[in-house]
Amino acid sequence: MTNRTPLFLLLVCVQAAFGWTGAAASIGELFAERTRSVVVVEFFVETEVDRNPISVNGIVINDEGVVQLPASAVPSWVPIDQLREFKVHRLGDSKGKDATYLGSDRRHGWHYVQADESLWGDLKPVTDYPLATLATGQSLWGVGVATKDLDFIPYFMRAEVSTIQKLPETIGFATSEITSPGSVLFTDDGAFAGWGSGSLNMERFLTIEGRSYQAFLRKPDQTTSFYVASELVESIGNVPVSPEVNDMTWLGVVGLQTIDDEVAELMGLDSQAAISISQIIKGSPAEKAGLQERDVVLAVDGVPLPRYTPRRVVVADFEQQIADKEIGEEMRLAISRGGESIELAVTLEQTPKLVRDARKKYLESIGLTVREFVVYDNVALKLDLELDEVPGVIVNFVKPNSDAHTGGALTGDLVKEIDGVPVESFDQALSLLEALERDASKREFVMLVARGAETSVLRIALN
């Protein structure tokens, strides 16, 4: 009882501040009000030939209609200029209002969208509510969101706290489905308890006509897991200055692996959590600081890496620590290298251009999109190049049954030569291809492309 008292007082204060009518609002009243904190955001991703519609729930985070969406709302490689026609729907209202994409938060990847001003008055930020302190077994209720043909009507859900785990974000699990992904849940007295995350895969055995199958099933519209509100509110609202800004910090290591308990014991690391590094990107801050492949990271800035269950969560924790730093900030790493302990200081740099931000161009008459070569490609294609080396351009898209497709071009090809001319930069490759497109007398051209360990000479007939 003793620790309930402050919460109760807080609740009374908040209620007083908002001029509620009674000390104990009914669940029905709470539900009606709190559904105003959830919206459905619709948009589509436009590609060279298709439009892929996306519909996702989000929470209102301020009085100016800013909505926070889960990181998974937009695939990370999709360029911002391909995100089109954002619309925000209030629950129970099939008519959407226009919205603007504001960008994503560098630490958690949440996306932000701002609803049209005409909607602001109808929305209620989740930050208006008191925060819940959760206990195992506690009863919670959530707002389920129906599908579009049901006008996104909100519906009531209830379950109890099953367990709470750090992964490394604090994640709550309920005894059964309690909200929709991207929607909210509360305690009985109306305190903000959590934000629905993606639902988990459930292992099931299916028997179809006597044959047994093992299947992993996941509900797209309901979830048992949620970000715990008391921690979530700390990270709410890191809206970037503009969608294009790249303020992500970069260490330049690839293939981080958790050292499992038995290996740690054999390496004499006691119960210390540790991460091994598979690859160091040439020219990266990690290389400049002297980090080497197979180094084992034990501590950051003097603090040993925390032990999680499952162990592999420490990798996400480490990545979060990198993301939490500023560009130019130093990170001290305690390393174990072949049994020897080393301390290194790395100065983090700005993340090199992402695939999402790479320049690209759709050459419609040939039927392919070429994209600037970025560091990601260097890693994915196992090239081990210096940071500024450009081995070619990447085929980012091949239009089905186009000249490029008929000639055998595949998405992901690294174009090394165009008509016998080695590719040295994106601009040069583009001008070569555009000249080919313009030259009406040109009937065919040849591209040398690399695929894995092999190359292939493609002949592209221009029709």
Quote helix, strand, coil % in the chain, to nearest 5: 20, 40, 40
Residue 117 class from Cβ within 10 Å (0-12 exposed, 13-18 middle, 19+ buried)?
A: exposed
CB 322 within 8 A of CB 285: no
In the complex, minimum distance from the CB of residue 384 to other proteins, in angstroms, rounded to a whole number: 8
Q: Which is closer to other proteins, CB of 220 or CB of 422?
A: 422
314: three-class secondary structure by DSSP? helix
Q: List the structure tokens of 82.
A: 């391909």
Q: Which is closer to other proteins, CB of 24 or CB of 461?
A: 461
Q: Which is closer to other proteins, CB of 236 or CB of 296?
A: 296
Strand partners, 300: 303, 333
In the complex, minimum distance from the CB of residue 77 to other proteins, in angstroms, rounded to a whole number: 19
What φ, ψ does residue 312 adopt, rounded to 5°? -65, -15
52: three-class secondary structure by DSSP? strand
In the complex, minimum distance from the CB of residue 410 to other proteins, in angstroms, rounded to a whole number: 14
The amino acid occupying position 107 is R
CA pair distance 438, 430, nearest whole angstrom: 12
CB 232 within 8 A of CB 105: no
In the complex, minimum distance from the CB of residue 254 to other proteins, in angstroms, rounded to a whole number: 7
In the complex, minimum distance from the CB of residue 371 to other proteins, in angstroms, rounded to a whole number: 21
The amino acid occupying position 29 is E
Q: Which is closer to other proteins, CB of 163 or CB of 463?
A: 463
CA pair distance 387, 333, nearest whole angstrom: 23
> Which distant-in-sequence residues (6+ apart) come within 8 Å of 446 by Cβ?
417, 418, 419, 420, 457, 458, 459, 460
Q: Which is closer to other proteins, CB of 78 or CB of 462?
A: 462
In the complex, minimum distance from the CB of residue 256 to other proteins, in angstroms, rounded to a whole number: 9
Q: Which is closer to other proteins, CB of 53 or CB of 255?
A: 255
In the complex, minimum distance from the CB of residue 266 to other proteins, in angstroms, rounded to a whole number: 5
Q: Which is closer to other proteins, CB of 343 or CB of 444?
A: 444
Query: Which spans of this chain sit near other proteins (rule: CB under 8 A)?
Result: 254-255, 257, 259-260, 262-263, 265-267, 276-279, 293-294, 338, 382, 417, 420, 444, 446, 448, 452-457, 459
